[in-house]
Amino acid sequence: MSPVVLSAAGAALVLDASGPGLPRVRHFGAGLGSAAGPDLVPALGSPAAAPPLLPAQGDAWYGRPGLSGGRTGEHWPVRWTLDRLDVTATPGAGGTVTVAASDDMAGLELVTELAMDAGGLVTMRHTVRNTAASPYRVEGLTCALPLPARAGELLDFTGRWALEKVPQRRAFGQGVWSRENRRGRTGHDGTGLLVAGTEGFGFRSGEVWAVHAGWSGDHVHYAERLAEGPGLLAAGELLEPGEIVLAQGETYATPRVYFTWSGGGLDDAGARLHDHLRAAGPLPVRPVTLNNWEATYFDHGLDRLLELADRAAAAGIERFVLDDGWFLHRRHDRAGLGDWYVDESVWPGGLHPLAGRVRKLGMQFGLWFEPEMVNPDSDLAREHPDWILGRAARTPPPQRNQQVLDLARPEAYAYLLERLDALVSEYALDYIKWDHNRDIAEPVHDGVPGVHAQTLATYRLLDELRRRHPGLEIESCSSGGARIDFGVLARTDRVWTSDTNDALDRQAIQRWTGLLVPPERLGCHVGAPRDHVTGRSLPLAFRAATALFGHMGVEWDLTSASEAEREELATWIALHKRLRPVLHAGRVVRADRPDPSALLHGVVLPEQAVFGFAQLTSRVTVEAEPLRLPGLDPAALYEVRVAGPVPDGAALPGWAAAPVRVPGSVLGELGLPAPKLKPASVLLIEVTNLSL
């Protein structure tokens, strides 16, 4: 049988279905061109070195099995028989593969779905069905693709509240490197991507493979290599014992797992992920957003909020979001969650006076919710203590004065849907900031572990709300960046990248989160002059230039800002709007620079590009390395100019005094002389392609 080849954008996936058993993955990596013919499989060597789509010991795989589970009193190791193989593929444009298999002795059926999109990104999902009379416990079911021996390094990410996506690298030898998350949400320390690559890979160099589990509950990412040679990159849902028990005829489907390959470093791997999200359909223009949280916190005096709205509109802000504190009993964070009714003691006219002023000023209006949570001190918890996710006889430990509502309970789900639907309708909300501010501890639903059911119920709630209100935009926030994954991004329009607005920390947080998420979906705000989380004071130009490269917003009490500060902010917002068509549609690029004191990154379209050179700290060397601008066409002629305000105290080289024309080959290979900037400074560079 000829091999099955999916190919697109320079990547290829090769399946050998010659048997016995499930197809084996003979190759995932660089495109093979015209070599993908009948003689390809023999050229790839021994099938024993290629794991099947769901590795097991019967396939001579002695690492982690792709499927683990069992029945009480009997154990049948699974050996799959291939029943059906359906392929739809166009060379160079990707395609789909559906594999159906069964094991009559084990009493199981399997369907595996594989797809490669036009950008070369591979999506995989398994569905297992119990065909026997006795129940089958699914303890693990993961999606995996092979890694070659030359993938000798691993990169993953950790973090904490207000400092997400901290990279860590290590050698990849034999054994398992596993990142497991049991927080009930993606987690501040969730890796997001697990990357394997050739030694020394960077943003612009090296061969890399990466995996992402598109799931907002408990999950696992791992890489494994055995002494026999083959390696695997895998991910899936992390299941608790007894969480998934299949009766006869019932099925369990994994979340979708995403695999990306690149022959040119992390930037290209990330671009494939960005392209996949963007292919779902274009987002509306991303309005510059003001969120009042760090401006007023729980102080919801109408006069103060109206003044804030006036100042926001004058600065060019396009959306006003009222954060926590508007609903019953919510004068602090210890009460009221779950009581989703406007507090008439604070808002005697409802939210209409504020919403009306906001819209009269030409801005959209949005509102904050935390639907999945409840305060014990709330009318909802007092009336329905049985709606709390956990055992009634032993309440789970509280965090942030909160418990979790059991959304898989129909009555709790119906209540939330009615309240959210009613408020979106009454105030014609343009936008919801959907928060989730604690890890889920000891979740129990109907006597079994509850994270799986809770996650699916949350997805259903988001989907139904969007169905009823097609124009509604939703932001996923989870005490900052603790729920950022393709599962929630399939249902929301942006993520809140971090609860810190400290621009110095944000430079790194946005840089690494941006491997998975494109700029137009990354919430990036201009915070107060003295950051509320770190206490660090930073100049407005640095704060604004950092926020400019995402979905820009403001989280600063503009009623306390000086007239000069408001004018400067308006200048930056106007610049963001002018550059927004590039920033929110182009390819993200990052330069590999040996000096960690500075970053060079940009967003590139064929006709235009925007770069930011950020001096984070004092540099060690007297002269900085030239600015080699990545991602440009070496055959094109470009006009280069400084965009936006020049940082205070900057010593600029000659090219920055007036627009200059430079070939792309020179900009990419030799670069431009670097400016001398003070720490916490950003110089913006705008590049226009004159050859088009």
H or E stretch at 4:
strand 4-8
- Mean pLDDT to the nearest integer, 128-143: 98
- pLDDT, tens digit (0-9, with 9 covering 90-100), for 341-385: 999 999 999 999 999 999 999 999 999 999 999 999 999 999 999
Q: Which are the catalytic amino acids?
A: 435, 499
- pLDDT, tens digit (0-9, with 9 covering 90-100), for 280-333: 988 999 999 999 999 999 999 999 999 999 999 999 999 999 999 999 999 999
What's the start-to-end Cα distance of the chain, in Å? Answer: 47
- pLDDT, tens digit (0-9, with 9 covering 90-100), for 626-684: 999 999 999 999 999 999 999 999 999 999 999 999 999 999 999 999 999 999 999 99
H or E stretch at 258:
strand 257-262
Please report the sign of the dihedral spanned by the C-alpha atoms of residue 531, residue 534, residue 539, residue 540.
Answer: negative
- pLDDT, tens digit (0-9, with 9 covering 90-100), for 585-626: 999 999 999 999 999 999 999 999 999 999 999 998 878 899
Query: Does residue 167 have a cis peptide bond before it, meaning omega lies within 30 degrees of 0?
Result: no
Question: 591-689 maps to which CATH number?
Answer: 2.60.40.1180
Q: What is the pLDDT of residue 37?
A: 59
CB 260 within 8 A of CB 486: no
H or E stretch at 486:
helix 486-489
3-state secondary structure of 518: coil
Cβ-in-10-Å burial (0-12, 13-18, 19+) of 410 comes to exposed
Q: What is the pLDDT of residue 39?
A: 64
One of 3.40.50.300, 3.30.470.20, 3.20.20.70, 1.10.1040.10 is the CATH number of 289-584, namely 3.20.20.70
- pLDDT, tens digit (0-9, with 9 covering 90-100), for 540-552: 999 999 999 999 9
- Mean pLDDT to the nearest integer, 495-508: 98
Spatial distance between the Cα atoms of 245 and 447, rounded to a whole number of angstroms:
12
Tell me whether domains 4-279 and 289-584 share a fold. no
Spatial distance between the Cα atoms of 643 and 685, rounded to a whole number of angstroms:
5
Paired with 377 in beta bridges are none
- Mean pLDDT to the nearest integer, 225-233: 90
- How far is Cα of residue 675 from the mean position of the Cα atoms in its chain? 33
* Nearest residue to 632 via CA among 661, 676, 663, 670: 663
- Mean pLDDT to the nearest integer, 563-568: 98
- pLDDT, tens digit (0-9, with 9 covering 90-100), for 510-533: 999 999 999 999 999 999 999 999
> What is the CATH architecture assignment of 4-279?
Distorted Sandwich (2.70)
Least confident of 229-238, 258-267, 454-463, 477-486: 229-238
Q: What is the pLDDT of residue 48?
A: 63
For residue 17, what are the CA distances in angstroms to 7, 234, 526, 598? 17, 21, 54, 50
175-181 and 108-116 as β-strands: parallel, antiparallel, unpaired? unpaired
Q: Is 70 exceeded by the pLDDT of residue 41?
A: no
Domain spans in the chain, listed from the N-terminal domain onward: 4-279, 289-584, 591-689
State the residue for tokens 């009634």.
392
